[in-house]
A = this chain, B = another copy of it.
Amino acid sequence: MTAYTATVTVRLKRGVLDPEAETTQRALERLGFELADLRSADRFEIDLDADDADAAADRAGEMADRLLANPTVHDYDVAVEQRE
């Protein structure tokens, strides 16, 4: 088994309202910042042991499907790195 860190980034699908991001953008604009758009995402960094990188990615994807992401409103992507 090898030690990996799988990073799962969970975003709202395009077109789904993101009140948190809108509120954050308004607050930044009130502070005088200029920005065209702002999107927020949740990121989970998961340390796990697996036979190889694909197995680590598969397991992280299963975690996203079953808990971390709501398939109705979220998209997610998985990136895997070997851990020292």
Contacts and interface: CB of A to CB of B under 8 A. Distances in A.
B35 A47 contact: yes
A40 to B, nearest CB: 6
Contact of A24 (B27, B59, B68): B68
A38 B67 CA distance: 13
Contacts of A44: 21, 24, 38-41
Contacts of A49: 34, 36
Contact of A31 (B9, B40, B43, B67): B67
A47 B43 contact: no
Contact of A33 (B21, B42, B62): B62
A79 interface: no
Contacts of A46: 35, 37-38
